[in-house]
Amino acid sequence: MTANLICVGVNHRTAAVELRERIAFPAETLEANVREMASLPGAEEAVLVSTCNRVEAYVCGSGTGLDLLDRVTRRIAQSRGVPLEKLNPATYRHEGADAVRHLLRVSASLDSLVLGEPQILGQVKEAFQNAREAGTVGTLLTRVFERAFKTAKRIRTETGIARNAVSVGTVAVDLARNIFASLADCLVLVVGAGKMGTLAARHLAASGAGRVWVTNRSSERAVKLAEEHGWEAKAFSDLSLLLQQVDIVITSTGATRPIFTRDLLQPLMPKRKFRPLFLIDIAVPRDVDQDVGRIDNVFVYNIDDLESFTKSAAEARSKDVERASAIVEAEVEQHLRWAQNLAVTPTITALRRHATELAAVEMERTLGGAAANREVLERFAQGFINKLLHDPMTAMKDPGEGERLAAAARQLFNLTELVVIESEGRADGDQRSQDGP
Classify residue 334: in a domain, yes or no: no
Instruction: Say which residue, 13 or 416, is predicted with more confidence.
Output: 13
Amino acid at 434: Q
User: Packing angle between helix 30-38 and helix 65-80, nearest 10 degrees?
Assistant: 150
Classify residue 242: in a domain, yes or no: yes
Least confident window among 25-34, 273-282, 299-308, 321-330: 299-308
Q: Is the pLDDT of residue 63 over 90?
A: no
3-state secondary structure of 18: helix
Q: Does residue 279 share a domain with residue 246? A: yes
CA distance linking residue 207 with residue 174, whole number of Å: 9
Whether 46 and 8 have beta carbons less than 8 Å apart is answered as no
Q: Does residue 139 share a domain with residue 271? A: no
Instruction: Say which residue, 317 or 215, is predicted with more confidence.
Output: 215
Q: Is the pLDDT of residue 359 over 90?
A: no
Furthest-apart CA atoms within the chain: distance in Å: 110
Provide the pLDDT for residue 144.
Answer: 95
Q: Does residue 115 share a domain with residue 48? A: yes
Backbone φ, ψ for residue 62 (5° rounding) = -90, -10
Mean pLDDT of the chain: 85
Q: Does residue 153 share a domain with residue 79? A: yes
Provide the pLDDT for residue 165.
Answer: 55
> What is the DSSP code (8-state) at residue 165?
-
Looking at the chain, the whole-number percentage of residues with pLDDT higher than 90 is: 47
Closest CA to 353 of 430, 428, 417: 417
Provide the pLDDT for residue 367.
Answer: 80
Q: Does residue 232 share a domain with residue 138? A: no
Number of domains in the chain: 3
**Rg of the Cα trace of the chain?**
29
Q: Does residue 101 share a domain with residue 27? A: yes
Whether 396 and 406 have beta carbons less than 8 Å apart is answered as yes
Provide the pLDDT for residue 238.
Answer: 96
Provide the pLDDT for residue 409.
Answer: 79
Confidence of residue 431 (pLDDT cuts 50, 70, 90): very low
The H or E element containing residue 97 is: helix 97-107
Provide the pLDDT for residue 2.
Answer: 40
Question: Is the omega angle on the peptide bond into residue 276 within 30 degrees of 0, that is, cis?
Answer: no
Q: Can you say whether residue 26 is alpha, beta or left, with left for phi > 0 and alpha for psi between -120 and 50 degrees?
A: beta
Closest CA to 260 of 174, 172, 191: 191
Provide the pLDDT for residue 66.
Answer: 78
Q: What is the mean pLDDT of residues 203-215?
A: 86
Classify residue 325: in a domain, yes or no: no
For residue 375, the enclosing domain spans 340-389+399-435
User: Which of 165, 194, 227 is the endpoint of a domain?
Assistant: 165
Q: What is the mean pLDDT of residues 173-187?
A: 78
pTM of the entire predicted model: 0.69
Within 13 Å and on the Cβ side, how many CA atoms surround 381? Answer: 20
Among all residues, which ones are annotated catalytic?
52
Q: Is the pLDDT of residue 430 over 70?
A: no
Q: Does residue 362 share a domain with residue 248? A: no
Backbone φ, ψ for residue 47 (5° rounding) = -135, 135
CA distance linking residue 118 with residue 227, whole number of Å: 25
Dihedral over alpha carbons 110, 115, 116, 120 (to 10 degrees): -70
Dihedral over alpha carbons 283, 286, 292, 298 (to 10 degrees): 10
- Per-residue pLDDT tens over the stretch 126-135: 999 999 999 9
Q: For 207-355, where are the E strands, in sequence order?
A: 211-216, 232-235, 248-251, 277-281, 298-301
